[in-house]
Structure 1
C-alpha cells in the first residue's frame, strides 16, 4: 500500500509538472496583437496613432498594466542590445571569417592553381622553363583569401565597437506610466507599448514615437552626426499627418 501510494504520488507529480509546463508555454504564446506587431514593426512610426495604441494594448493616460507589461517582458525578452556574452579569440574569429563560402571557393581555386603548376613542373624536362602563370595566380588568390578575411574582421570589430558605444549611451533607469502612475524601472524592462514621460537632459532608453510634446528639442548627434538639435512637433493627433514634423534649429 505504501509503495503504490508513492508511485501514484510520483505519477501525479510528473503529471502536475507537465501541466504546469504546458500552462507556462500557453501563457508565453504570442497574442494576435504581438503577431501583428512582429509583421508591421517597421511601419509603427507612420501607423495611425489610435489604432497603434489598441494594437499595443496601451492607453495614453494610464499606460500599460503591470500584468500586460510582465507578459510582454516574458515573451519578448529584455530591452538590451545584442552584445555577445563571451567574445571569441581574435585569431579564431579571423579564421572563421576567412573560411566563409566565398573564402572557401578562393582557397580551393588557389590550391587548384598550385596543383596545376606542380603537375606541369614534374612533366617538364630539366632544361625547359615552366611558365609561372599558375603559380602567380595561386599566390594572388591566396593573398586575396587572407585579405578578405581581414576586411571582414575589421568590419566586425567596427560593428562591435558601435554597438558597445550605443550600449554605453543607454540610461540605466527610466520613468514609465503603468496602471496610471509613474514608476521608475530599469531600462532593460521597457516593453513595447510603455508610455514614457521625458524631460530636458534625459537620454531616450528605446525606440519611441512622440505623441505629445511642448518645445521638444532632440540632439541626434550620436545617430546622425548632425551637431545641431532638431525641433520635433508630433502630428499624430491632428489628423493631417501620421508622423512628426522635424525642423532643424537655425543659429
Structure 2
C-alpha cells in the first residue's frame, strides 16, 4: 500500500468559528454540508457547502438555531438532520436538505435530544439513529417516518455510528467515560453485538466511512480493521483542538474536517 494517511489544512475561509456544528456529505450536488453550531453562547442556523476548494453559504433559513444535532447522508440521496439543542431547549424535529432548501419532514419519532449518532447503513440502505443525551434506543428512518428498532442498547458517552466498507458492517463506537477505552459494537439482525473493547482511552470526536475502512478521530486518527476487529492508529498529525467534525467526500476521495475552534478546514488523504 503506497503512501500514508495525511491531514492537510486547506482553508481558513468560510464558516465562522463554532463548536458542535453538524456535517455530512450531500450526494445530490456532490458537496459537503455544514449546519449550525454554538459560538460564545450564541446559536447558529447557517448552512454552508464545501465544493472541495471553497465554502459558500447556501442558506440561512430552515431548522432553527441549534448545536449538537445529528446529521447524515440518507438513502434517498438527501441529507437528514435530527434534533439538537439550543442551550436548555432540546429538539426532536427531522429535516431534509436537497441541495437548495431545508424541509421539515417529521416532528414525531425519537424524543427530543442532542448528541445522537446518525449514519447511513450502506449494507441495507437504511438510515440509523442511536442514543443521544444518555439514551440507548435505536431508530430507523425510511424516508417518511421513524420506526424504533430497539429500546435499549449499549451505554456509551458521546456515541458515534460509522459504516465499515471492507467488512460491510455498521459500527457503534464510544466509551463509558473519557478515561476508558473505546467500545465497538456491530449491528447484526437489528441488535448491537460487542466486537471489541480495545481502543484509545479518550472521547471519539468524529467518525466517517472511507473505502479503506471506518475512520475515527480523537487527537489522532484511527482505522478499523474488520478482519482483526481492532482500531489501528494511522496518523498523529492534524487538527487537535477537540472540536473537529468530519465526513468522507466520495466525489474527491478524501476526508473533510472542520476545526470549529480555529475555523479551519482540513483534508484527509488515504493511501493509494
TM-score (norm 1): 0.25
- Bigger Cα Rg: 1
TM-score (norm 2): 0.23
- Which structure's relative contact order is higher, taking Cα pairs within 8 Å and 6+ residues apart? 1
Bigger strand share: 2
Bigger helix share: 1
